[in-house]
Chains A and B, each alone.
Chain A
Amino acid sequence: MRYLTRRLVHSTLLLFAVSIFAFGILQLAPGDFFTPISLNPQISAHTVAALRSQYGLDQSFPIRYEHWLQSVFRGDFGISFAYGTPVAPLLAVRARNTLLLTGTSLLVAWLLAIPFGIWSAAHRGKWADRAGGILTSSLLTVPDLVLFLALLLMAVRTGWFPTGGMTSAGFDDLAIGGKLDDLALHLVLPCLGLVLTTLPPLVRHVRSAMIEVLEAPFVRAARAHGISERRVLLRYALPVAANPLITLFGYSLAAMLSASLLVEMVLSWPGVGPLLVEAILAKDVYVVVGAVMLSSVFLVAGNLVADAVLFATDPRIRMD
């Protein structure tokens, strides 16, 4: 239990550090949300100064950070300059959409990576394994942006999938089943993009972790006892190979989140990505900090889940 508590404390400290860092970086950027307005000759300098004062932009960094921390504890995460509303509800809707996309993609990617990696390891060196290696290497060399644009092009040319958004125009009029179908259809393209970018490294990791364990003497000993190959793979090698893979789960979530920013932009998925880019361009500080914090929370939570699963599955960690 001490292991998990320690991890939780580390995660909280990390989030604090990220918030200070994000705030500091934005402070270093020249100008603020009201700079474009100040260039408008029809708006007086006095009005701009009053707006800056109203939103607390004339105060020092520590005071602004303290105010933001208070808003975090209140649960609104500051006010968006652009939308004029608290950041939390603004982010909540986008976070739900991003979670739906990344969660589904992560699940699909791992559900494909585990059997494919095991199969590759079991057929190591054979033509099918080499063909799989060439396929994953080729996918790794394709830049994410090119892949997403190719998917977009395919959707436009074939008309098989919607090319943007999360729902169709008449979504509200549909029955529950129709709504789910419509959502799933919109999800296919961005989900496919994310799976194709994260799958190759996952397959390679599963394959190499399995190969390492399959060569261990304890697996040889089990073979000498007459164990079936299927049981060797699933009951002996996979549980032992699982440790690095569970740790990799946390990293795969990070990779998925960073790729999702791009896929959401290119394929117009209304997630945190487009909101973050808009906020960065407009210097909507609290939205940017909120979005960064949200991504960090996802990441930290993913790693915490991985730690908890490791704790539950590996007796050696419980022993420590």
Chain B
Amino acid sequence: MNSGPQSNCNPCGPLLRVSGLGKEYVLRRPFSRKKVAVSAFQDVSLAIFPGKTLAVVGESGAGKSSLARCIALLERPTTGGIELAGQNLLTLSEKELSRARRKVQMIFQDSASALNPRLTANEIIAEPLLIQGEGTKSQRRERALQLMEQVGLNRASERKRPLEFSGGQRQRIAIARALALGPQLLILDEALSNLDAANQELILKLLAELQAAQALSFLHISHDLRAVSEFADEVAVMYQGRIVEWRSARDLFASPEHSYTRELLASARSVDSILLERSA
């Protein structure tokens, strides 16, 4: 397997190192006692450096989102290890894990279902602070207001609920919530796919600004190669649960090595040309 581009391009250690990670789901057949193990992904090794973006691309069902959930420790991987800033996350106690979770936050695809419909924008953004027991109520509210401004939302809309916002605004609320605990790594799980092109552009710009200002690292799960080409420093291509190619974005788009990567790029280009023809 490709050992990735990090070995020769970054002098400091990676923020996140994933080694030999695998996840199996055990399913029970209907009307049977037999259990069947279904592998979502296997033997995945990756690294993300501080202030950098690693994109994981691949078709639906390749195991990208399962990988993202395992890295965010929303699910326990079956094999392998996850190190964050040199700390093995899989050996931590519940208490230590709760503290470590601050460093990794996730932004989901569907912003409508990713936000609690009963809470106001301010409550949603302050929610992680409340969970981690940080600050007083007024301090949390003030921090949430600052975050709203930081992601380009109007302070006056703090009492609105998710359904009163547009899709792009909801994703900004999700970003503000993810930033509340001062994370080092943001996992964007198809976070742009439900947005129109204009909103995708705006959110990408916002994320790039945040990355520059706070040295945030991003793990960008996506099937949109165009967004990836603009945004990612490195790209890992996932196919049938394995990483088949992992290189710098520039190299990968210029000269793909694996046949699946070539197919993926060719199909993206043909879609682009069809869209271009139609618009012409």
Which B residues fall within an 8 A CB radius of A? 69, 72-74, 97-99, 101-102, 104-106, 108-110, 113-118, 127-128, 131-132, 161, 163-164, 174, 177, 181
Contact = CB atoms under 8 A, between A and B. Distances in A.
B178 to A, nearest CB: 8
Contacts, number: 62
Given A220-B69, A222-B116, 14 more contacts: A218-B113, A218-B114, A218-B117, A220-B106, A220-B108, A224-B104, A225-B128, A226-B99, A226-B101, A226-B131, A236-B116, A314-B118, A316-B163, A319-B163
> SS class of chain A's interface: helix, strand, loop or mixed?
helix
Contacts of B116: 218, 222, 236, 240
Contacts of A319: 161, 163-164
Contacts of A226: 97-99, 101-102, 131-132
A26 B98 CA distance: 67
A239 B106 CA distance: 23
A225 B161 contact: no
Contacts of A222: 116, 127, 131
Nearest to A315: B161
- Give 4 closest A-B pairs by Cβ, nearest first: A226-B98, A225-B128, A217-B114, A217-B108
Nearest to A313: B118
A221 interface: yes
Interface in A212-271: 216-218, 220-227, 231, 236, 239-240
Q: How large is the interface on A (under 10, 10 to 19, 20 to 34, 35 or more residues)?
A: 10 to 19
Contacts of B104: 224
B184 to A, nearest CB: 14
Given A226-B98, A239-B118, A316-B163, A216 B113 contact: yes
A316 B164 CA distance: 9
B187 to A, nearest CB: 9
B117 A224 contact: no
Given A220-B106, A226-B98, A316-B161, A240 B118 contact: yes
Contacts of A224: 72-74, 101, 104-106
Nearest to B133: A226
A225 B118 contact: no
Interface in A298-320: 314-316, 319
Contacts of B72: 224
A131 to B, nearest CB: 15
Given A218-B113, A218-B114, A240-B117, A227 B108 contact: no
Residue among B110, B113, B161 with most chain A CB within 10 A? B113
Contact of B114 (A221, A223, A236): A221
Residue among A226, A236, A240, A316 with most chain B CB within 10 A? A226
Contacts of B128: 225
Given A226-B101, A226-B131, A240-B116, A221 B106 contact: yes
B34 to A, nearest CB: 15
Contacts of B98: 226
A225 B181 contact: yes
25 contacts: A216-B113, A217-B108, A217-B110, A217-B114, A218-B116, A218-B117, A220-B106, A220-B108, A221-B108, A222-B116, A224-B74, A224-B101, A224-B105, A225-B101, A225-B128, A225-B131, A226-B98, A226-B99, A226-B102, A226-B131, A240-B117, A240-B118, A315-B118, A319-B161, A319-B164
A122 B132 CA distance: 22
Contacts of B102: 226
A228 to B, nearest CB: 8
B159 to A, nearest CB: 10
Contacts of B69: 220
